[in-house]
Amino acid sequence: MANENFRGNRKLAGGYGKLWVDNELIAEFKSITATITANRSDVQIGMSVDSKITGLKGEGTLTLNKVYTRAKKIIEAWNSGKDVRARIVYSISDPDAVNGKEERVSIDNVWYNSAQIINATPGEDVNEEFPFGFTPEDVKYEGEI
């Protein structure tokens, strides 16, 4: 990484983020998280307990402002016995990013763990959450800052 002095304007703003699911731009996305967790087992070395990575697990949540009927496709596939898989791409291209670069991450082999049918409170905005899992080896950084 460059040895540049950090300035506040270099911090990325989420408003410059874009999200695609299966090559469809999801303009109504509110937030997305994706995390890879290392599964570890203990390794006893003398009196010390160390650890060893034994696997990796990918999980996340996609939250959308309710604009379109998104869960229907997932529910219909599940009801017909199909395990729906998707590809998610997230890009953030803040004009103040170091050297004007873009961070772009793609996650393939995404499966949905649940799909909200109804989530509404009178007088409040309606959102949908889609918790998902993925195989960590299918995460690719296609651009970095």
Average pLDDT over residues 5-14: 65
Looking only at the bridges linking them, the beta strands covering 48-65 and 127-134 are antiparallel
DSSP 100: G
Reported as a single tens digit per residue, the pLDDT across 71-91 is 999 999 999 999 999 999 999
Q: Using DSSP, state whether 97 is helix, strand or coil.
A: coil
Q: Which amino acid is at 50?
A: D
pLDDT value at position 17? 82
Q: What is the set of domains in the chain, with CATH numbers? A: 13-143 (2.30.110)
